[in-house]
Amino acid sequence: MMYSIIDIETTGPGNKITEISIFNYDGNQIVDEFTSLVNPQIPIPNFITALTGIDDDMVADAPLFSGISDRVSAMTEASIFVAHNVNFDYNIIKSEFKALNQVFNRKKLCTIRLARKLMPGYPSYSLGKLCKQLDIEIVGRHRAKGDAQATVVLFEMLLNTPDSETVFTQFLKRNSKEATLPSALPKAVFEALPEAAGIYKFKNKKGKIIYVGKAKNIKKRVLSHFYDTTEKEMNLCRETADIDFEPSGSELVALLMEDAAIKHHYPQYNVLSKRPIRGYGVFMYQDRNNVMHLAFNALKKAPNPLIVFYSITACRQFLEQLCLKFDLCPKYCHLQENVESCSHYKIKNCKGVCKQEESVALYNLRVKDAMTYIKSQSQNIILKSSGRYETEEGFVWVKDGVYQGYGFVDKTATIMHTSDLEPYLIPQKDNIDVQKIIRQHMAKQDAKVLMPQESNLE
């Protein structure tokens, strides 16, 4: 059996190859070798140069990958692709071939995973530290040839360990999970993941949460990350050393849990839902002339809000609709400031309270009607969901249009009124993202909605 033991150096950001080294090994000796610098056609960052010693001048006259692709393809065509953290090297080379409209598919083996299985107990399995522990000399660390030569020696040691044939065969199976897991992630951690709805948190070696996701099937969704060859997913998997999870019982609660976790931890690989959300409340107050005003402000400055929005634009649009629907004054709805009387470009149906052409009492009656309408728009609902276990049920609580949180209730508990759910509530913060999640869920035909007057969750 032939093995192509490979190492590449890259630009870091962009993951373009700057150097490649291949040693073809037949199980006894090296039978072919190829090493070359590669022009990545993008600048090499200073921190990469500091690590590898490869700079822009060194690769200026080097061949493009297209110039060496035939050699790389021929050397690896009838062999098994081997590397330390194989998915990194393999996926980058595969991407280079894809850019040339060529398909690159090879069986592969990872010396990190093989070492973890065949040589357990070492504190670190990074190439440098593992080679030091095994007395393998690296001549030219962080250069393709030096690292590839050291990997050849390591690979030979792995071949000669007891049970190597069984382990190699297992790892070469096309659907072997061992062959797809991140190199720093213990198999036991992955196997402990449930095939149930919930959220999962990828952690790096320092225990820091670097990504949060949700899934109907946690184990299946996590595994899909390891098959993804996009640059972001490859970098995420390289850093992943541990995975935590939290069951939710339902996709709805998983979505809400995911949003809260992202906003709390700000993981580096999550892009959506990180932005801080400001809430704005519409409220009523009376001035010294007893005119009832409808105004809006940040939630902290909005006493007893009638309804909550998550943008000033949404507040203004809602108040404009109220003005049109109930013949209210734009001035007293704070759509115009510092004016004697209203002159709104869009709203022309004010009956003149701002010009003393209508009595305050009559105007206030329409404001009260508007407030009744607002309260009818502020829904009080409980959304029923599956529990995390067969013995419980889940719920999501919206009170006066504001998301309160979610919770889980034992099926044997007696719930006569919504107040009976309060001890089971896990309080959460409301924001525009969770409002969207809840609205979309309620729009589904199969959404199970319980109004507060219902006596229990049965």
185-198 pLDDT per residue, tens: 888 899 899 999 99
Asked if 199 contacts 258 with a C-beta cutoff of 8 angstroms, the reply is yes
Give pLDDT, residue 176: 58
63 Cβ contact partners less than 8 Å away, ≥ 6 residues apart: 36, 37, 38, 39
Chain-centroid distance, C-alpha 73? 35
The mean pLDDT of 337-364, rounded to a whole number, is 88
Residues in the chain: 458
Higher pLDDT, 102 or 178: 102
The mean pLDDT of 199-213, rounded to a whole number, is 95
For the chain, what is the mean pLDDT? 88
The mean pLDDT of 424-453, rounded to a whole number, is 72
pLDDT tens column, 103-126 = 998 989 999 989 988 998 888 888
The mean pLDDT of 49-71, rounded to a whole number, is 95
Q: pTM for the whole thing?
A: 0.56
The strand ranges marked E within 235-361 are: 242-247, 280-286, 292-298, 307-309
Give pLDDT, residue 451: 45
- The H or E element containing residue 440 is helix 432-443
Look at 61-65, 148-152, 170-174, 435-439 and tell me which has the smallest mean pLDDT. 170-174
Look at 108-112, 137-141, 229-233, 358-362 and tell me which has the smallest mean pLDDT. 229-233
The interaxial angle of helices 231-239 and 218-227, nearest 10 deg, is 110
Pairing of the two strands 108-110 and 80-83: parallel
* Rounded-to-integer distance, Cα 201 and Cα 193, Å: 11
Asked if 93 contacts 104 with a C-beta cutoff of 8 angstroms, the reply is yes
Asked if 275 contacts 346 with a C-beta cutoff of 8 angstroms, the reply is no
Of the CA atoms within 13 Å of residue 297, those in its CB half-sphere come to 12
* Rounded-to-integer distance, Cα 183 and Cα 187, Å: 10
Look at 235-244, 298-307, 447-456 and tell me which has the smallest mean pLDDT. 447-456
Give pLDDT, residue 163: 86
Give pLDDT, residue 453: 41
Structural domains of the chain ordered from first start: 3-179 (3.30.420.10), 187-265 (3.40.1440.10), 280-377 (no CATH), 381-450 (no CATH)
What pLDDT band is residue 418 in, cutting at 50, 70 and 90? confident
* Rounded-to-integer distance, Cα 331 and Cα 201, Å: 50
Give pLDDT, residue 445: 43
What does residue 12 show for φ and ψ, rounded to 5 degrees? 80, -110
What pLDDT band is residue 12 in, cutting at 50, 70 and 90? confident
> 113: how many CB neighbours lie within 10 A of its CB?
25
Give pLDDT, residue 174: 57
> 384: how many CB neighbours lie within 10 A of its CB?
18
What pLDDT band is residue 296 in, cutting at 50, 70 and 90? very high
Q: 317 pairs with which residues across the strands?
A: none
What pLDDT band is residue 295 in, cutting at 50, 70 and 90? very high
Which two structure tokens, joined as six digits, stand for 322? 């109220």
pLDDT tens column, 152-184 = 999 999 999 988 888 898 888 755 555 667 878
